[in-house]
Amino acid sequence: MTGGTPIPSPSTTLRNRRTPMGNRLQSPTSPFFLGSNDDQLECAQSSAARVASTRRNVADPPPPADSGLSSDQIVELFRNCIKLASENKITQKNSWQLKLIDYLSEIIKVDAENAEPNFQKASCTLEAGVKIYSARVDAVHSEAYKCLTRMKQASAEYEQG
């Protein structure tokens, strides 16, 4: 004893520090705090989050833009693009004049008059749209390489001259 206060022995200090693992995990100050497991609360929170997410994703659609095409013109556009796609006549040059991709929503609206979805028409439209889009990507790719080639030629001429 020094100064009237007892000095704890090392074995007493160790015994006081050791607490069962379960008590340490249940302590809110512990970094391993597991908390209580309330399955009903977790289920309700998950359900509320799903509903909120669905509400955010299904926002009001934008007002329809005036396409300037009548339903007959849209049907004709659809038929023309499907014909070109089936004959493999979509090229890099004519892909920019084909407006199927621009009017996909109008094509769907024209078909929405039927109660049943037409999956064959949807698949053909999607296939034609993919062909048009890939031809556009190829066109941009080839134009970029042409530009790169011109830049290399100009650089080489500049270094020589």
Q: What is the pLDDT of residues 21-41, one digit of tens each?
A: 555 555 556 555 556 677 788
34 close to 26: Cβ distance less than 8 angstroms: yes
Q: How confident is the model at residue 20 (pLDDT cuts 50, 70, 90)?
A: low
100 close to 128: Cβ distance less than 8 angstroms: yes
Q: How far apart are CA 21 and CA 27, in angstroms?
A: 10
Mean pLDDT over residues 140-149, rounded?
Answer: 95
Cβ atoms within 10 Å of 106's Cβ, excluding its own? 19
Mean pLDDT over residues 65-89, rounded?
Answer: 87
Q: Is 145 buried (19+), middle (13-18) or exposed (0-12) by CB count in 10 A?
A: exposed
Average pLDDT, the chain: 77
Q: How far apart are CA 101 and CA 146, in angstroms?
A: 26
What the block records as the tokens of 59 is 């926002």
Q: What are the residues facing 2 on neighbouring strands? A: 5
